[in-house]
Structure 1
Amino acid sequence: MDIKPLLGLSGVLIAAMTSEFNDQVTSIALIDVRGALGISHDSGTWIESLYVSAEIIGMAISPWLLMTFTLRRWTLFAIALCGASSVLIPFSPNIEAIYALRLLQGLAGGLIIPLVMATAFRILTPKIRLYGLAVYALTATFTPALASTVAALWTDVVDWRFAFLQTIPLCSLAGVLVWYCVDQDQPKYERFRMLDWRGALLLVIGIGALSTMLYQGDRLDWFNSRLICVLALVSAIAIPLLLVNEWFHPLPILKLQMLGQRNLAYGVLGLFLFVIISQSGSTVPLRFLQQVQGYRPLQSNLITLEIAALQLVMLPAMALLLDYRRVDSRVVSLVGLGLILASCIGSSFVTVYWNRDQFYIWQLFQAIGQPMVVMPLLMKATNTVISPADGPLASALLNTARATAEATSAWFLELIDRWRDALHSDRIVDEAGQDRWRVIQGNGVLPQYPPPLMPDGRLRAPGSLEAFGHAVQQQVTILSTSDTFLILGALTVFLMLAVMTLPVRTMPPRIHFAKQ
């Protein structure tokens, strides 16, 4: 086999990993970035919000534009946009410039990621297509898990600016590989005569409003905010209009009719839920270690590095396993989801004494389970693509669901935090108040744990009441973290039910497409 196309695929993969780092590394290092640039917390939330909104839009429109401008030209443009927007952020003169560059950075990331699947479909024959899916799966499992290690390197060892400057060597290498190794096709500019401009406009307005509402809703107290009310109204009007428009348009951005195929419908739903569930192996434990134990990224990154390292073994192993005729991909998915469920249940026993060592065994379950879910999911979804022209359209549906899940997961975790934090805080404070003379004020029961106040109401020691409040908040965080793991476990059970009911069995690509 000619190695040149494989080098081209490697270039697209490097570009996709770079765009993932732009998202995940910046998110983890955001506190350091805000501090260095003098950005407040509220203003800093828009740095993430704008990126995700633009990323969703980019993932939806990239496959359509890819078929118009050709793979080589469109990939080079996206890589150039990714590199230029990232490099300029550390030198931005004001917050408005950062917002604009972050929008472009998110758009570039959204444009790049679907190109991995499109390139794999183009250069890999059905005989080795599973390994192309493993390459795409790296962007869903390996790169997000590696991001905390990269963030730790830049913020705690080198310099925060490299969270953005890292794109210089990566985008340069990706651009050279794509320019040299990807063949140039004939562009199809005549497609612009049938441009779905109405769908594109509704997509920008509707999805942009929805993702912004999900990201900013908790901070702005939801429908007590006029902005959130307006965003909710806009998305409630624009998204149904978008769906109707895409259904009837002759050359749509999102070909919704393809969801009539059960395996592709499962792929879209499963990938959406998987992105949310996978937070149990990354965001949730990292946040616990930061809030309860005071860990920096350099101290906590090993628990996600464990997941990242094992992906390099597990993803090729899953490609090899799924290539056997006798292996039912649905069973593989159920085993993987069972491991993730076990990880969620085990991690729910978290206590104040837990540090990163207690997470290692449960992260191992995540590391094995995640590729066992993602690889069968991608195989089922992509086996529905018979015509090469349908490949980018299927990619648009899958990647739009994936990007939307990122905004949804942020909303979902904030919802759990607010709901369970309020419950546990009220209960702990109520219990402490009912037992005031033993817990808050008095001589106490155990001499090593005296109440913060003396019997006459005076402070037992300077800062003792603040320390008591910190201990209460610490317990609230622990209980809420436990609840989060259990709720994500329940979502895993729901996905297991979907696996058992929605998809039908499909053969490995080398067998499936030989029958066509």
Structure 2
Amino acid sequence: MTSGQRSLFGLAGIIALAFATEMNEQVSAQALPDIAGALGLSRDPQRWFSCLYITAEIVGMSVSPWLAVTLTLRRFSLAVPWLAVLSSSLIPLTGNLTLLYILRIFQGLSGGFTVPLLMTTALRVLPPPIRLYGLAAYALTATFFPSLSTAFAGLWTDLVDWRFVFWQSIPLCTIAFVLLWYGMPVEQPRHERFWRFDWQGFLLVLIGMGAFSTMLQIGDWMDWFNSPAICVMALLSGVCIPLFVLNEWFHPLPLFKFQLLERRNFAYGASTLLTFMIISLSSSALPADFLREAAGYRPEQTYPITLEIAAIQIVMLPLMAVLLNRKGVDSRIVSLIGMACILTACIGDFFVTSNWNRDQFYLWQAFQGVGNAMIVMPLLMMSTNALVPEEGPFASAMVNTPRAVAEAVGIWLIQLVHRERGALHSDRITDRLGQDRFQLVQSMNPVLQRPAALTPDGLPAFPGSMTALHAQVTRQTATLTYSDDWLIIAGIVVCLMVWVCVLPVRTYPPRIVFQSK
């Protein structure tokens, strides 16, 4: 077997490792109430449990490509599965909150290290004629793996044991380690690069990006700028992030190469992937959260609507690779059609009512699944075609770190909408109840299905009547708020449709682009 063929086993190992680390994040987010109950976590530790992972993931993604080049791809990729297994397997066994936070940070670092490795490996080992299939493998991390999280969360929490939310990574990381050990080529490490390590850039991204992502995730909980901690985080991010960009621009061996953004197609790919991660909330988090709040669904009941998207990706991603490999296909048009599909789904979901269950989501989830693949594959092709192989590590950091930041931005956006619009809808519904209070009075012949909450003398009509009325108000408020979420995301999709018409230029399949070079 040639070294090139063995490298494909290494790529398969990276895919298995990416699957394990993505499931660590996504499944634990879905199963957080069960995890918190088992570990005895209150609301505040739950927030930090989620926040620390995303913040550590951002830091890991920023340094992963540099470490892969310095330590060699083989050595670094063989270390990451051990980090993921040790941190994940110990979390269910700890009762100390500080130790739990430390393990969660290591778990986030392992996730941040992995995804850039997948892009770097795909660009290195796959020749131009089949590169699009490697990009399809990378696209799995953005479209396929997150859509499986609800199914796994339902499996472990409702049918098996909550500990397997973390222990599921053990067999996956073991398989990944074996494939990486067999397939990754042996190279000489370049330890001399440590003498030129961008320490200033690393500290600036650690402090600046860490403060920025933490501020976005917990700002709503801490009442934003009424909290001194949020003010300090805002100051740190406002100072460190511009200094980081300036430092990277002039550093001889930077972590990020911002000069790549001068290329229109690469700028489009980096910016659109960030925006896509926010848009993808409309097909994953929002339907699941709505069904949980409005209908009381558990993950075991919710998973079919996200599993539908995962099944579509298995078909659509290879199909997109075949389609985009044709010279006559314009990737910008494919992206535009995909955005139109997602826009259609968001408009359909906008008309959600409190009576919806998962059956009403199936049609719109199908549009989401098709649209996801038609956006991600073209943007990956356009951005990577603008690169030479030596720029692969820089591009990997530039593309993946904003992608991780997008998770924090998405959390901030949803919290903002739910605070502002949710409060507005709640006030209006409550005010309407006050204006129409006589409709709440029990009549002589009530409709048994929806009995009124009060008797004519203002007392509760039956035990729990006011609790039931409050539940109805909460349910209607949630319905209106989630409807606003989908409308806002639809507006973002429209802006993205304008963006794809303006910024990128026509590109051709890698087999043509790199053959001409």
Matched letter for residue 166 of structure 1: Q
Structure-1 separation of matches of 2:5 and 2:33: 43
Structure-2 separation of matches of 1:159 and 1:451: 42
Structure-1 separation of matches of 2:12 and 2:137: 9
User: Which residue in the other structure is 1:459 paired with?
Assistant: 460
Q: CA deviation at 1:446?
A: 6.7
Superposed CA RMSD in Å reads: 1.2
1:3-53 alpha-carbon deviations (Å, 9 max, x no partner):
322111000000011110010000001100000011111111111100000
Q: Does 2:108 match 1:106?
A: yes
User: Which residue in the other structure is 1:323 paired with?
Assistant: 325
Structure-2 separation of matches of 1:358 and 1:384: 42
User: Which residue in the other structure is 1:180 paired with?
Assistant: 182
Moved more, 222-231 or 49-58: 222-231
Q: CA deviation at 1:441?
A: 3.8
| Aligned CA distance change for structure 1 residues 140 and 444 (closer, same or farther; 3 Å) | farther
The answer to whether the 8 A contact 2:446-2:452 is kept is: no
After TM superposition, list the pairs within 5 Å mapping 1:101-500 onto structure 2: 101-386=103-388, 388-438=389-439, 440-441=440-441, 443=443, 447-448=447-448, 449-500=450-501
Moved more, 446-455 or 195-204: 446-455
Q: CA deviation at 1:86?
A: 0.7
Other structure's SS at 2:295 match: coil
1:277-317 alpha-carbon deviations (Å, 9 max, x no partner):
00000000000000010000000000000000111110000
1:143-190 alpha-carbon deviations (Å, 9 max, x no partner):
000111111111111100001111111111100110111111111111
Structure-2 separation of matches of 1:80 and 1:447: 62
TM-score w.r.t. structure 1 length? 0.98
Matched letter for residue 117 of structure 2: L
Structure-2 separation of matches of 1:199 and 1:409: 25
Matched letter for residue 122 of structure 2: A
Structure-2 separation of matches of 1:437 and 1:167: 57
1:89-130 alpha-carbon deviations (Å, 9 max, x no partner):
011131111100000000111011101111111110001000
Structure-2 separation of matches of 1:418 and 1:16: 34
Structure-2 separation of matches of 1:445 and 1:12: 67
Structure-1 separation of matches of 2:225 and 2:182: 52
After TM superposition, list the pairs within 5 Å mapping 1:80-95 onto structure 2: 80-95=82-97
Matched letter for residue 259 of structure 2: Q
Structure-1 separation of matches of 2:21 and 2:436: 53
Other structure's SS at 2:443 match: coil
The answer to whether the 8 A contact 1:442-1:451 is kept is: yes
Q: CA deviation at 1:447?
A: 3.2
Matched letter for residue 174 of structure 2: S
| Aligned CA distance change for structure 1 residues 446 and 370 (closer, same or farther; 3 Å) | farther
Structure-2 separation of matches of 1:383 and 1:24: 30
1:444-494 alpha-carbon deviations (Å, 9 max, x no partner):
997343431112111111110111111011000000011101111110111
The answer to whether the 8 A contact 1:444-1:450 is kept is: no
Structure-2 separation of matches of 1:338 and 1:446: 48
The answer to whether the 8 A contact 1:437-1:444 is kept is: no
| Aligned CA distance change for structure 1 residues 437 and 14 (closer, same or farther; 3 Å) | same
The answer to whether the 8 A contact 1:7-1:177 is kept is: yes
Q: Which runs of 5+ in 1 are unaligned?
A: none
Q: Identity rate of aligned residues, in percent?
A: 53
Other structure's SS at 1:278 match: helix
The answer to whether the 8 A contact 2:265-2:505 is kept is: yes
Q: CA deviation at 1:269?
A: 0.7
Structure-2 separation of matches of 1:90 and 1:311: 32
Matched letter for residue 213 of structure 1: M
Structure-1 separation of matches of 2:345 and 2:95: 45
Structure-1 separation of matches of 2:482 and 2:301: 19
Structure-2 separation of matches of 1:241 and 1:391: 24
| Aligned CA distance change for structure 1 residues 437 and 111 (closer, same or farther; 3 Å) | same
The answer to whether the 8 A contact 2:248-2:254 is kept is: yes
Moved more, 239-248 or 297-306: 239-248
Structure-1 separation of matches of 2:363 and 2:5: 39
Q: CA deviation at 1:80?
A: 1.2
1:416-458 alpha-carbon deviations (Å, 9 max, x no partner):
11111011111111111111112x3453997343431112111
User: Which residue in the other structure is 1:52 paired with?
Assistant: 54
Structure-2 separation of matches of 1:42 and 1:345: 35
